[in-house]
Amino acid sequence: MKLIHCADLHLASALDSRLSKEKARLRRRELLDTFERLAERAREENVAAVLISGDIFDEEKISVSAKNHFLKIVALYPEVDFLCLSGNHDRSLSEEGNLPENLKTFEDQWTKYSYGEVDIYGIEQTNENCALLYDSLFTDNSKVNLVMLHGQTIDSRSEPAVDTVILPMLKNKNIDYLALGHIHSYKQGRLDERGVYCYSGCLEGRGYDETGKKGFVMLDISGNTVRSTFVPFAKRMIHNITVDVSGLEDGFDVEKKVLAHLALLENDDLVRVELTGSVGSKAQIYPEDLEKKLKERFFHARVKNNTTLKIDPEEYREEMSLKGAFIRKVLASDLSEEDQARVIRQGLRALSGEEVEEH
């Protein structure tokens, strides 16, 4: 039997803090499209159920259009059950009426769904039940047991709190696979001698803090053995790239070095480039121009200039110019080296009649 474990869809996310309104709207649609592709994959693979371990939506007040779109996708695939757990961002779908028959929900007490010799348990955490849920979980040792929870794992027997999962308190409960949501990157580890815990990560990255491959986990259960495989599935990947431009004095050379670092990336991706290293005061580096160039190729791009200025005070000691006087004055100030570099960089741009970088 096959199952799919996914989480953190975050449908109806705003996504407009960096993206234009048009691209944010497109990206929101892509989140729904990726979930529909997942449902189609489940049907093609004869998956019995899709386990969604929380945060289907991005806010507790669910967007009506996103909710209806999600429910319509579920209803289009009646051969597949969708087991939907709420997370810390959304509220339980159990409160909604007219749900498709193949959509299964959880409440604030342990609920079990059985598929032959496989039992799947889930509970939605509240302030009232978070301290009691561990002692109230009882499983059948003879079955294959999967448990769904949403929260940050804690390795010590600390005080239970909502949106945390205390791993030691789930040991020796006959769990073969603990299907977690909340962390947006794939992660798997041992729970005890019998089972493992796993974060599937999100289906699609949304910001530059969600880099790398995103997707779901395919579970193949045969007898009492659970085999899990992470499946990259996102339409777009998000990258944070650091490029050391030390010694480069010309914007053309900087651009060529950056493009060489990005050569193997897909044009559909989102890219954040951080320029680092030490450059001279005469270096002509224009991050805004480079960012504009990258936006012509990628879905979205950002460039951050975090280079440091390498300035020899002796070079400007005798220079009789406004630039020389400005640099000497800054170097003689009480500013930190970092602030001195920032002020000098911005000042030189202003003295050259160029736009000052935004921070």
In which band, very low, low, confident or very high, does the pLDDT at 315 lie, cut at 50, 70 and 90? low
Task: Please give the residue that has the higher pLDDT: either 48 or 131.
Answer: 48
Q: What is the pLDDT of residue 62?
A: 76
For residue 29, pLDDT beyond 60 = yes
For residue 316, pLDDT beyond 60 = no
Output the 3-class SS for the chain. Answer: CEEEEECCCCECCCCCCCCCHHHHHHHHHHHHHHHHHHHHHHHHCCEEEEEEECCCECCCCCCHHHHHHHHHHHHCCCCCEEEEECCCCCCCHHHCCCCCCCEEECCCCCEEEEECCEEEEECCCCCCCCCCCCCCCCCCCCCEEEEEEECEEECCCCCCCCCEEEHHHHCCCCCCEEEEECCCCCEEEECCCCCEEEECCCCCCCCCCCCECCEEEEEEEECCEEEEEEEECCCCCEEEEEEECCCCCCHHHHHHHHHHHCCCCCCCCEEEEEEECEEECCCCCCHHHHHHHHHCCCCEEEEEECCEEECCHHHHCCCCCHHHHHHHHHHCCCCCHHHHHHHHHHHHHHHCCCCCCCC
- pLDDT tens digit string along 242-282? 999 998 988 899 999 999 999 999 999 999 999 999 887 67
Angle, nearest 10°, between helix axes 337-351 and 322-331? 170
Task: Please give the residue that has the higher pLDDT: either 65 or 347.
Answer: 65
Mean pLDDT of 9-26: 90
* Six-digit token string for 356: 């000052």
d(CA 82, CA 87): 15
Q: What is the pLDDT of residue 351?
A: 67
Q: What does the domain layout of the chain look like in residue ranges?
A: 2-232, 238-351
What share of the chain in percent tops pLDDT 70? 94
Task: Please give the residue that has the higher pLDDT: either 23 or 316.
Answer: 23
Mean pLDDT of 177-191: 97
Which CATH architecture fits 2-232?
Answer: 4-Layer Sandwich (3.60)
Full-model pTM = 0.86
What share of the chain in percent tops pLDDT 90? 70
State the average pLDDT for the chain: 91
For residue 92, pLDDT beyond 60 = yes
Residue 271: is it exposed, middle or buried by C-beta count within 10 angstroms (0-12/13-18/19+)?
buried
